[in-house]
Amino acid sequence: MKNASKNNIQNLILDSIENAAAEVCENSGVNIRKMPEYYMNVVIAHDLCEAFPSLGFRLELPVKDLLDKFGIVSSKSPLELRDGGKFDIVLHSRKSKKIRHVIEVKKSLNKLQIRKDALRIAALAHENHGSRRLETGYIVAIRRLKNSCKSRSLEELIDDRIDMIKSVTNNMDVSARYALFEPGEVGFSSEERLGIIVFCLQKNNAL
């Protein structure tokens, strides 16, 4: 049985969204971008816990509730953490309920949205919670790509977002894995295709 390493988590999320995109197209006749964002949250959380029995999850856990679990009364970065909001997915140990990772989910690669989530994950990684696992978080995004010579490739878009995340966060290593459907698959037109990206942000304690 595979452990819940960062690479295995990223790969499982990719598989989860790929399968969900196919099921949505088959059962509803639309592409997954037409579905509420919350649908992806449920699918990802369910599939992660099915694949890794050591994991449990919470959906839309308030930021302040997470901080309370670590005895943090006042956040070091309340604006970046958006401590009045909620995390999309929080993974915890199924047995001990200790929180492990936070996952934010987006239906686009919009720079502003990715930036906000990257700042939140970085702020959480630098809080005084004493958890090495919580120093790693994930951003899941899907993107509709036009099959045009004028359109930027998914690899170029990912590199651009990684550079942006590194420029706005402090001491964070950033990597990404992705999956790309063929044009016309899973409910998209013959001129469009679906891309799925999972960014991993991890605090660099060597810096």
Q: Which residues contact 35 (CB under 8 A, 6 or more apart)?
A: 24, 28
Rounded to whole angstroms, the Cα distance separating 193 from 147 reads: 7
Rounded to whole angstroms, the Cα distance separating 98 from 86 reads: 18
Residue whose C-alpha is closest to residue 10's, from 140, 202, 108, 114: 140
| pLDDT (0 to 100) of residue 4 | 85
Rounded to whole angstroms, the Cα distance separating 169 from 171 reads: 7
| pLDDT (0 to 100) of residue 150 | 54
The answer to whether 19 and 197 are in contact (CB under 8 A) is no
| pLDDT (0 to 100) of residue 189 | 94
Residue whose C-alpha is closest to residue 151's, from 204, 117, 109, 112: 109
Please name every residue paired with 193 in a beta bridge, in sequence order, or none if there are none: 145
Rounded to whole angstroms, the Cα distance separating 89 from 198 reads: 14
Rounded to whole angstroms, the Cα distance separating 4 from 139 reads: 16
Rounded to whole angstroms, the Cα distance separating 149 from 202 reads: 34
Q: Which residues contact 61 (CB under 8 A, 6 or more apart)?
A: 86, 87, 90
Q: Structure pTM?
A: 0.95
Rounded to whole angstroms, the Cα distance separating 113 from 116 reads: 5
Spell out, as residue ranges, where the chain has pLDDT lower than 70.
1, 149-151, 206-207
Tokens of 85: 């909001």
Rounded to whole angstroms, the Cα distance separating 177 from 155 reads: 10
Local structure of residue 34 (DSSP, 8 states): G
